[in-house]
Chain A
Amino acid sequence: MDLNPVILSIPIYFLLIGIELLVQAFSRDPIYRLNDAVTNISCGITQQVSGAFLKVGLVAVYELTYQHLSLLQIEPSWWSYVLLFVLVDFCYYWAHRMSHEVSLFWGGHVVHHQSEDYNFSVALRQGSFQVIWTTAFYLPLAVLGFDTLSYIFISALVTVYQFWIHTEKIGKLGPLEWVLNTPSHHRVHHGRNPKYIDKNHAGVFIIWDRLFGTFQEEEERPTYGVTVPVNSWNPLWVNVQHYAGMWQQLRQCRSWADRWHTLINKPGWRPDYLGGYMAPPEVDQHSPKIQPRP
C-alpha cells in the first residue's frame, strides 16, 4: 500500500473535480471539455506510472547525499517539520522558476501548461521528465540534515496544496493573497499573455515571488496555454514535443556554443541565423474561441 500523500489524496482530487462539474452543470458555465480533461488526467497517470520506476533512483540520490554529505542530523519534530515545509517551498520556487527559464528543464514542465482550460484536472497534468531536472534543487535540504522520509512527506504536502489553486471558480481571497499562493495568483502563472509569462512561480507561499521580483497581480482574465500550442491529445507525445523541437534546433545549430545556449537559455531562444528569439505574442482577446467546423 502506497502511503504517499499525493496518491492518498486521489479520492479528494476527484471529489473536487466532481464539485466543479456540478458547478458547470448548474451554471452552464463551461469549465471542462472531455478531450482536454481526459488528456490532463492521462498526463497525471503517465507521470505517476513512470514515477513508479524513476522515484527509486531519485530517492536514492537524496538518501546518498543525506548519508554522506549532511552537515547535521536534524531529528524529526514539529518545529523541524515546519522549517522543512518552508524550506521545501523555497526550493520549489527555484526549481519551478528554473523549469520556466531553462529550455532543457522547460521540456519537463511544459506539459503542465499545455492545457488551454483552467480547472482542477489541470493540477493533475504533470510532465514525466520534470522530476529528473528538479531533484537537484532539493539536495541542499539533505546537506542541511533533513532525512529522506521527512523530505518525501513534506514535499508531497507542498504538492497536494497546489491542487486547489487550479480553478477559476474561486476569486480573490483578501489578506491571504499577500502570503499564500492562491487561485488568482496561479491563474496568472498559467496565462500566456506576455505580461503573465514567467510570473508567480510559488508553490505555497507567494512571498518568494514578491521577494525575488517575479510577482504579477491578476488583472485581465488570462488566456491559458502555451505560446506554441501542442495541439494533441496524445499523453506521450505532449511529454516529448518540446524535446523534439529542441532536437531539430540542435541539429541546425552551427556551433557548440549555440547548442549549449539552445539547452540552457530561455525557451524560444534561437541563434540569429535561425530567426532569433521568439518573443511571446500578444493574445488577440477578440478572436473567436470556438473552433470552426473542420
Chain B
Amino acid sequence: MTSTARKFNPGLSRGLQYYILLHYLLTLGGSAAFLFNEGSLGLGLKALLGGLVLLAVLSLGLLMERPAWAFYLEGWRLLLTVAVLLQVLALPGLIWAAAAYVLISWGWLWWLRGSVGAAEGLATHS
C-alpha cells in the first residue's frame, strides 16, 4: 500500500492571507504579553485572558479552513476581545481607537466574505 506525498493546502485568497497575517501578529503580541505576565494574574483573569488567546487562534485557524460560519465567529471574536481588553485594562481613553479597529476589521471581513466559505486558489508550493 502507498500513500501520496501531497500536502493539505486549501487555497486562500491574497486578501484573506493579509487579514489573517495582520490579526495573527496582533494575537502573537497579546499571547506574548499574556505568557510573560500570567504568573502575576489571578486565576479568574488568567482564565479570561487565556480564553481570549485560545479563541483568537481558533478563529483565525478556522478562517483558513473557510467554513461560512468562521466569518461570523471572527466578527464576534473581535468585538468580544476589544470589549474585554477595554474593561480589563481600564483604558476608556482608547474606546474610539478600539471602536475604529473593530469597524475597520469588520469592513475588511465583509469585503473578504466571498473568500470565506468558497473554495478558490491553488496551493502555492509543495
Taking beta carbons and an 8 Å cutoff, which residues of A are in contact with B? 1-2, 7, 10, 30, 33-36, 38-39, 41-42, 45-46, 48-50, 52-53, 116-117, 192, 223, 225, 227, 229-236, 279, 281-285, 287-294
Contacts A34-B17, A46-B54; A223 near B9 (Cβ below 8 A): no
Question: Is the beta-carbon distance between B24 and A233 smaller than 8 angstroms?
Answer: no
Question: Is the beta-carbon distance between A234 and B62 smaller than 8 angstroms?
Answer: yes
Question: How many A-B contacts at CB < 8 Å in the complex?
Answer: 140
Chain B interface main SS type: helix
Question: Is the beta-carbon distance between A290 and B61 smaller than 8 angstroms?
Answer: no
Question: Is the beta-carbon distance between B58 and A235 smaller than 8 angstroms?
Answer: yes
Q: From A34, A46, A289, give the contact of B6 (CB < 8 A).
A: A289
Question: Is the beta-carbon distance between B46 and A52 smaller than 8 angstroms?
Answer: yes
Question: Is the beta-carbon distance between B28 and A30 smaller than 8 angstroms?
Answer: no
**Which A residues are in CB contact (< 8 Å) with B11?**
293-294
List 7 contacting pairs A-B, 8 Å CB cutoff, sorted by A. Answer: A30-B124, A35-B9, A45-B54, A282-B3, A289-B126, A290-B122, A294-B10
Which partner residue on chain B sits nearest A231 by CB separation?
B8
Min C-beta distance of A228 to chain B, whole Å: 10
Which of B47, B57, B65 has most A Cβ within 10 Å? B57
**Which B residues are in CB contact (< 8 Å) with A35?**
9-10, 12, 64
Residues of B in contact with A, size category: 35 or more
B87 at the interface (CB under 8 A from A): no
Contacts A233-B62, A290-B126, A294-B119; A1 near B6 (Cβ below 8 A): no
**Which A residues are in CB contact (< 8 Å) with B10?**
35, 291, 294
Which partner residue on chain A sits nearest B24 by CB separation?
A38
Question: Is the beta-carbon distance between A116 and B1 smaller than 8 angstroms?
Answer: no
Question: Is the beta-carbon distance between A290 and B123 smaller than 8 angstroms?
Answer: yes
Measured in the bound complex, the distance between the Cα atoms of B1 and A35 in whole Å is 29
